[in-house]
Structure 1
Amino acid sequence: MDNPSKIIEGGIEYTLGKFDGKSVLYDFDKILIYLNAKGKLLFGDHFRIYTEDENIIRKLCHYFIKDKENCQKNDIDPEKGILLTGPVGCGKTSLIKLLKNLVPLQRPYLFAPCRNIVFGFNHLGYKIIEDYGDSSPICFDDLGVEPIGRHYGKDCNVMGEVLLSRYDLFLKTKSKIKTHATTNLNAEELEERYGNRVRSRMRELFNLIAFDENTNDKRK
């Protein structure tokens, strides 16, 4: 791709800003036009960007395009992953799936629902924790509401173990392999679910970006 400020989707070229040959000066209004169009292609014609969500989307955009100045203003560390929290139906999963398309030159992350990882553990055991604990960049969807894993009669807090492994990976690779996650739970609920040790590692793994708890359920 010669010009990273332009993306072609469905035969239409979208301009995200100005490219000076070295870097892109992004235009947020143009980014929103592109995200709206890409969202409809990914999720159907009912998809739209809500005005009330633009502040969250702006922060996510700053993170993904690596806008250091705005990341600093919002206390976002571009070296860490994103933990996107908010009530059921606020659009977390759609946004985290959508935003990676903004930077096609960056290494894409896999997308893994946490309950599927637990089901995999129930069948295959600890190999699943190794697979997800040491792999590509990844986004864990719906963290904290997955069931407890059970393999050969032994219970295991599967995602807690996976997060500890991802933390070790983060230290080893000096943040080159990112971990992202979406969750409906708040910090206290996450600590209750995974314990203090995992929660403290999560603080080092993730930037917390949170929807307002009164955000409407967009699936209704």
Structure 2
Amino acid sequence: MNFKSPHIIQEGGVAYEIGKIYGKEIRYDFKKMQVYLEAKGKLLFGEKFKLYREDREIIYKLCSYLIRDKENCEKFEIDVHKGILLSGPVGCGKTSLMKLLKFLVPQQRPYEMIPSRNVVFSFNHLGYKAIEDYGNSNFFCFDDLGIEPYGRFYGKDCNVMGEILLSRHELYLNTHRKLKTHVTTNLNAEELEKRYGNRVRSRMRELFNLIAFSKDAKDKRT
């Protein structure tokens, strides 16, 4: 990463200038960010990858959050100290976008993408150490929240992701809001509350900015 030119990202021998530096400030260009994201997406996911026109507003909100655009974040009621809860129907592109967007601002601390079901599998093998490991101060994006099975360790059932979200909420409050947790989910607010309970749902309101695809968003995998 070029710390002197954080507005220029090198990919595959090509330099993508996604903004201009004015003093100590980068003024980003959304169109140029889209060009970079599509190019990076093709490198990550294959030549068929593309950004869809109908997703422009979602991508714009996510980019505004990542680059900490104060004016746009206020407009969209996004708190840059919170994480992102990206919801939408199966196949609408949530996971791909979250995998992709962390490359947009390489000078920021990156988050690690973790399938929620893998967290549960880890709990089934390691027990409560897994909750300690994923409830720590690392930056995570838990993918497909809500479709993971319940955990079971030595005959005791556990709502693993619910416990991890409670742990991360406590850390969030005790680290001056520096801890970032992101999630993707196919579930709506009512379904999340049914899955994790009102206590967790209440904490999720403090942990996350909700950014949602339309319930009619098409499946891009078909």
State if a TM-score over 0.5 links the two structures: yes
| 4+ residue segments displaced more than 3 Å | none
- CA deviation digits over 1:125-161, x for unaligned, max 9? 0000000001311100000000000000000000000
Matched, 1:89 2:91: yes
Give the secondary structure class of the aligned counterpart of 1:102.
coil
Q: 1:80 aligns with which of 79, 82, 95?
A: 82
Matching residue's letter, 1:175: R
Match of 1:151 in 2: 153
CA distance in 1, matches of 2:55, 2:83: 20
CA distance in 1, matches of 2:179, 2:169: 10
Give the secondary structure class of the aligned counterpart of 1:139.
strand
Give the secondary structure class of the aligned counterpart of 1:101.
coil
* TM-score normalised by length of structure 2: 0.98
CA distance in 2, matches of 1:140, 1:122: 17
CA distance in 2, matches of 1:5, 1:115: 36
Matched, 1:19 2:26: no
Give the secondary structure class of the aligned counterpart of 1:13.
strand
Tell me how far 1:201 sits from its aligned partner. Answer: 0.1
Tell me how far 1:203 sits from its aligned partner. Answer: 0.2
Matched, 1:183 2:182: no
Q: 1:30 aligns with which of 5, 15, 32?
A: 32
| Match runs of 1:95-174 below 5 Å | 95-174=97-176
Aligned residues: 220
* TM-score normalised by length of structure 1: 0.99
CA distance in 2, matches of 1:27, 1:37: 16
Matching residue's letter, 1:127: K
Match of 1:42 in 2: 44
Match of 2:10 in 1: 8
Match of 2:53 in 1: 51
Tell me how far 1:3 sits from its aligned partner. Answer: 1.4
- CA deviation digits over 1:12-31, x for unaligned, max 9? 00011111131111111111
Tell me how far 1:191 sits from its aligned partner. Answer: 0.0
CA distance in 1, matches of 2:151, 2:113: 20
CA distance in 2, matches of 1:174, 1:138: 17
Unpaired segments ≥5 residues, structure 2: none
CA distance in 2, matches of 1:102, 1:94: 13
Over the aligned positions, Cα root-mean-square deviation in angstroms equals 0.6
Give the secondary structure class of the aligned counterpart of 1:38.
helix
- CA deviation digits over 1:79-99, x for unaligned, max 9? 000000000000000001111
Tell me how far 1:176 sits from its aligned partner. Answer: 1.1
CA distance in 1, matches of 2:175, 2:114: 21
- CA deviation digits over 1:19-76, x for unaligned, max 9? 1131111111111000000000111111100000010000000000000110000000
Matching residue's letter, 2:196: Y
